[in-house]
Structure 1
């Protein structure tokens, strides 16, 4: 499936970059004519994925790409490497990590992660289906 529209950027791997990533995604989606609940959901998803890349890896730079694929919005965040077995969902209320991915899992039609080959790094991605609702409160 070919991308209809595509937008990417790279930011420093610092916590203050999360707000900039969220702003860049919101601005691009508005340019594409995508707003409302879908815009808010994607802003939250990029915030969670970008935060994970900044907080849980030793990345100097984090890359982000938004694609509008036929009926799907796909966000992919690439870091410079994370610990083995990461990222993961929160397994219990006592877990200190993984709660953001629980949100991503609940809001998106699909998400996943894979190592970058060759070289260090991991891509964590999530998809939102345009025009469909998983339940009454979320656009997915």
Structure 2
């Protein structure tokens, strides 16, 4: 996959990897787990003081990324990472590498039920992309959202 301009800017950003808060969890690669992933992200962001808009956006992004991992890979487990750097929140979904190809947005017809998930991710995110997972098997699909926190 050719990286988007956002992904290129992401790679050159100062402070990438300097995360204040981090949560890692693994769930079975089943449709029923999508709601668990969404709930976990929403709960953790709320604990970290994120505002409602960020909670909603991150919930939608994790839903799309997790659903794609379930639908397009033959994984047994999916690993999710939520990280808050203060300036942005990064979501990662790692599958076990038994899928076909690299995720890319597609143009769905008006009457098609699916096919718009990555388009939504690209609209809600500062940057998104995918990389091979550590160890050579699997793929990490990530998205970064602007962090905004509720006033105290």
TM-score above 0.5, yes or no: yes
Shift of 1:36: 1.1
Count of residues in correspondence between the two structures: 130
Partners of 2:113 and 2:135 in 1: CA distance: 31
**Aligned counterpart, 1:103:** 120
Partners of 2:55 and 2:106 in 1: CA distance: 25
Partners of 1:87 and 1:97 in 2: CA distance: 14
Q: Identify the match of residue 86 of structure 2 among 65, 70, 78.
A: 70
Map 1:18-97 to 2 at 5 A. 18-81=34-97, 82-84=99-101, 86-93=102-109
Matched residue SS, 1:90: coil
Matched residue SS, 1:124: strand
Higher normalized strand content (fraction of residues): 1
Gaps of 5+ in 2: 1-14
Shift of 1:97: 5.7
Stretch of structure 1 that moved more, 89-98 or 13-22? 89-98
Contact 1:90 1:97 in 2 (8 A): no
Contact 1:66 1:73 in 2 (8 A): yes
Tell me which stretches of 4 or more aligned residues in structure 1 moved more than 4 Å: 94-97
Partners of 1:12 and 1:92 in 2: CA distance: 28
**Aligned counterpart, 1:114:** 131
Matched residue SS, 1:114: strand
